Structure 1
Amino acid sequence: MAAVSSNSWLYRAGKQPFDRSVSDVKQLAEAVWYRGYCPTSEDLEDLWRTVDRQQFQRMLCVLELLSQYPVCQRKTARHLQMLTGQFHERLFGHVEKPTQGRYSPSKRWGLSEKTGALRKALLPLQTRTYADATGRDHGLSA
């Protein structure tokens, strides 16, 4: 259970369907984009043992989604994409991730839920004005 407390943002973001976890995903986005939170492979292993498969897939989907925003620091984005890629392969076998254009992260993670509400809620958090107002480094920093 220690993994749940040390990764509570991530745990809460995946616990419920996306339409009911908007505020939790926003808190996770703040932590990842502006406070340096970046789960490790061990963190995800611990969470995988704690939650059911669908909840775990939601967590990974959200991490992948957060890594795609320009406000996410490049190093963090690469790390999250590497982690989510490793777990995607473990869950689904080797499937090529789309490299160009838009794709549905929820479909990629085998979820029937849509991410539209999450994307809409994250828009204000990822503007340059908001990012600069945090006083922290971010992906849009010069």
Structure 2
Amino acid sequence: MVAVSSNSWLYRAGKQPLDRSVSDVKQLAEAVWYRGYCPTLEELEGLRRTADRQQFQRMLCVLELLSQYPVCQSKTARHLQMLTEQFHAQLFGAVTRPTHGRYSPSRRWGLDETSGPLRKALLPLQTRTYADATGRTHGLSA
């Protein structure tokens, strides 16, 4: 099997509607949460040039979603949130992100799609048991 870069998983996660990109998002989650992948501003700028607007919005939606799970390391979560806020401001202007309670990242990113299937698929990957079994540092590490 050919190794696929994390950047490629991110691109593939944005290529299709959220409910059809579950497998790619799970691979991306593994990379972000357990293998230390954290996209850079330059990577996202490059992806912005190669994807259409809706695909890029999906990518950012997925990154924002991944940053919300406790299994995401704090430093990574802050970085992802900073990047997604920066691009959200560029794409939509100065719109404040809800800071309390649950909100829909897909709606916030202007997508007529639901993130429910992704959330459900990511549940097993973000438990303490699974996270500890990876043998890697994660957001739930003591």
TM range (shorter): over 0.9
Pairwise mapping of residues 26-41 of structure 1 onto structure 2 (< 5 A)? 26-41=26-41
Alignment of structure 1 residues 86-101 onto 2, 5 Å: 86-101=86-101
Per-residue CA deviation, residues 42-93 of structure 1 (Å, 9 max, x unaligned), is 0000000000000000000000000000000000000000000000000000
Asked if the contact 2:6–2:37 (Cα under 8 Å) also holds between the matched residues in 1, the reply is no
Change (3 A) 1:5 1:29: closer
Question: 1:9 maps to what in 2?
Answer: 9
Does 2:125 correspond to 1:135? no
C-alpha spacing 1:133/1:115, structure 2 compared with 1 (3 Å): same
How many residue pairs match? The answer is 139
1:6, CA displacement in angstroms? Answer: 6.4
Q: 1:53 to 1:114 in 2, by over 3 A?
A: same
Q: How does 1:113-128 map to 2 (within 5 A)?
A: 113-128=113-128
Identity %: 86
CA contact (8 A) 2:6 2:31 kept: no
Aligned mates of 2:81, 2:125 — CA distance in 1: 20
Check if 1:109 corresponds to 2:109: yes
Match of 1:74 in 2: 74
Q: CA RMSD in A?
A: 1.2
Distance 1:110 1:8, change over 3 A: same
Unaligned runs of 5+ in 1: none
- Helix, strand or coil at the partner of 1:94: coil
Structure 2: tracts of 5 or more residues without a match = none
In the superposition, the TM-score normalised over structure 2's length comes to 0.96
Give the TM-score taking structure 1 as reference length: 0.96
